[in-house]
Amino acid sequence: MALVLEENERAVLYNFAVEKLSSLGVVGRVADLAPGTGGGAYIIAKNLPQTQVFGLDLSAEAVKSAEKSFSLANLFFKLGDVTVTPWNDGYFDAVVSFHTIEHMDEANQNKFLSEIGRILKAGGVLLMATPDRDVLEIQGFAGAQPDHVRELNQEEFLRTVRNNGFVIDAICGQSVLKGGRFPLRRLLNFLKKLDVFNLRKKISPKLVNVIDMKTHPVDFGKPVKRLADGEKASTTVLICRKPS
């Protein structure tokens, strides 16, 4: 059973990573690229003690926080750019990177994946996740985060990963999109943007939250699952490998 630090979306993703890396028999070295403050890298290192886990992040503050908060003999954090990493070719048995690629423009997205291909050994595993722009649009969140430079829909994500030489073994999803066209949700999103009647201030926040949750188009709180053909999720999660 994987260790859960807190019940949030990122912890769910990292517990999924532990399960997949374990089931695939990954040992040796795992890179967590852009781990932030390190909680996810800790989940992997704690649950896979025979594996060395290396986190690389561009934020000096995040690296400092990670080193202070999480200390294990098999866990290491380093300051650096994920598009130009300090490691030798084929150094890693697996690479994990969740919610990273959307923070880059198209050129750097391709550079990022090319660098992963360089540091990953032949036959190595890549676990990667990013929000689906189409689902975010239905939720009313597309473009809402200023640090998201280029959000991808599922098709663009798959194409970008494949174009950089990876084989996709499974397409999974977190917070899977429910069926339907969601007219009420789209109307609510429109009214939120427009808000000509200043409804947010006139209606109690509690009621607004109730309406928001009742019209939400995705299933929250579910484990990451393999997607059926044509199925989408708020976050697309790919299980990939570098060809041997």
What are the pLDDT digits (tens) for 181-208?
555 555 555 555 555 455 555 555 665 5
Query: Are 64 and 98 part of one and the same domain?
Result: yes
Whether residue 107 lies inside any domain: the answer is yes
DSSP SS3 for 175:
strand
DSSP secondary structure code for residue 93 in this structure: E
Residues 227 and 123 in one domain: yes
Entry pTM: 0.85
- How confident is the model at residue 178, as a pLDDT? 78
For residue 147, is it within any domain? Answer: yes
- Both 42 and 141 in one domain: the answer is yes
User: What is the rounded CA–CA span in Å between residue 37 and residue 55?
Assistant: 10
Q: Residue 76 in contact with residue 53, Cβ under 8 Å?
A: yes
The one-letter code for the residue type at 18 is V
Do both 99 and 191 map to the same domain? no
Question: 189 and 93 in one domain?
Answer: no
pLDDT tens per residue across span 97-153: 999 999 999 999 999 999 999 999 999 999 999 999 989 888 877 777 889 999 999
pLDDT at 154 over 80: yes
pLDDT over 70 at 27, yes or no: yes
Read off the tokens for 135. Answer: 């689902």
Q: Which contiguous run of DSSP H or E holds residue 199?
A: helix 199-202
Alpha-carbon span 239 to 96, nearest angstrom: 10
207 and 169 share one domain:
no
* Structural domain span for residue 190: 183-213
- Tokens 């084989």, located at residue: 167
Q: How many domains does the chain have?
A: 2
- CA torsion 184-190-194-199 (nearest 10°) is 20
With bands split at pLDDT 50, 70 and 90, how would you rate the model's confidence at 5? very low
Q: Which of 67, 10, 66, 7 is nearest to 37 (CA)?
A: 66
Average pLDDT over residues 32-60: 97
